[in-house]
Amino acid sequence: MSRAQNKDKKLAVLEIVKKKKDILFGAFQNNAINKIEKEAAWKEVLKKAQFLGLASASREWTYARDHLFGLWKSRTLAKKSKRNHTSVVYNPVDNCILDILRNESPAVVRLSLPESDGVKSNIEPQTSITKPALTSNKTAASQGKKRKRESCDEVKRLKIAILETELYKNKLQILELEKKLGVKRSKFTSNLLRDG
């Protein structure tokens, strides 16, 4: 497929995104109707991409959001951030994406907020467009990775603490039931302290 054909196919898909922009990137509402509308709109985008050969028939609607539009958007936003430092020329696909992003809602720009449909995106947030340029890209990147690792570690620690609490609570409930029924302690409660 030539670059011109590929560009035309992308533009055809982006036209549907542009038409469905209000539904796809609308205000944050956590209701079932909004989620259904968003999913249906992304399915329509995917259907067009599949028809044009940009996605296989086995793909889910999230592929259209995260890997097609998400990837194209990330590339355009990367160009946009580089444009301040070098002379970058936008192609028609970039211009179409920038037009779609014109109102730049948090869901579109992918600040550290969930998608408005409540489904987590597979695309990493593009924070470079929201932060001022730092003196050292390596320093900024390493600090960002460190913060992300620390954040992930903290989430893991919290999840483990919650699971440990749930496990202990369940053991206590089992112990209470064993006492009530007058049965021998099970392997689940044998390590709990015995009554005096």
Q: What is the dihedral of CA 92, 108, 144, 85, to 10 degrees?
A: 30
Q: Mean pLDDT for the chain? A: 77
Verify that 89 and 161 share a domain, yes or no.
no
- DSSP string of 82-136, one letter each residue: HHTTS-----HHHHHHHHHGGG--HHHHT-SS--TTSPPPSSPP-GGGTSPPPS-
List all residues 6 or more positions away from 59 whose beta carbon is below 8 Å from its beta carbon. 46, 50
Verify that 140 and 93 share a domain, yes or no.
no
pLDDT for res 88: 75
Verify that 37 and 127 share a domain, yes or no.
yes
Entry pTM: 0.50
Verify that 148 and 57 share a domain, yes or no.
no
pLDDT for res 124: 45
pLDDT for res 110: 47
In angstroms, the CA 41 to CA 47 distance is 10
Task: Spell out a b/e string for 17-30, using b for 16 or more CB atoms within 10 Å of the CB, else e.
Answer: beebbebbbbeeee
Verify that 37 and 102 share a domain, yes or no.
yes
Verify that 12 and 65 share a domain, yes or no.
yes
pLDDT for res 52: 92
Give the rounded distance of the alpha carbon of 156 from its chain centre. Answer: 18
Residue 13 has pLDDT above 50, yes or no: yes
**Residue range(s) defining the domain that contains residue 79:** 3-131
Give the rounded distance of the alpha carbon of 83 from its chain centre. Answer: 26
Q: Which of 169, 168, 167, 190 is nearest to 178 (CA)?
A: 190
Asked if residues 104 and 82 have their Cβ atoms less than 8 Å apart, the reply is no
Q: Provide the 10 A C-beta neighbour count for residue 140.
A: 15
Verify that 148 and 121 share a domain, yes or no.
no
Q: Which one of 99, 131, 163 terminates a domain?
A: 131
Verify that 44 and 86 share a domain, yes or no.
yes
pLDDT (tens digit, 9 = 90+) per residue, 91-135?
888 888 888 888 554 444 444 444 444 555 544 444 434 444 444
Domain count, the chain: 2
Quickly state the pLDDT bin for 86 (edges 50, 70, 90).
Answer: low
pLDDT for res 118: 52
Verify that 87 and 117 share a domain, yes or no.
yes
pLDDT for res 196: 40
Verify that 10 and 30 share a domain, yes or no.
yes
Verify that 66 and 153 share a domain, yes or no.
no
pLDDT (tens digit, 9 = 90+) per residue, 31-70?
776 888 889 999 999 999 999 999 999 999 999 999 899 8
Q: Which one of 131, 156, 183 terminates a domain?
A: 131
Verify that 117 and 182 share a domain, yes or no.
no
Q: Which one of 89, 112, 131 terminates a domain?
A: 131
Average pLDDT estimate for 192-196: 60
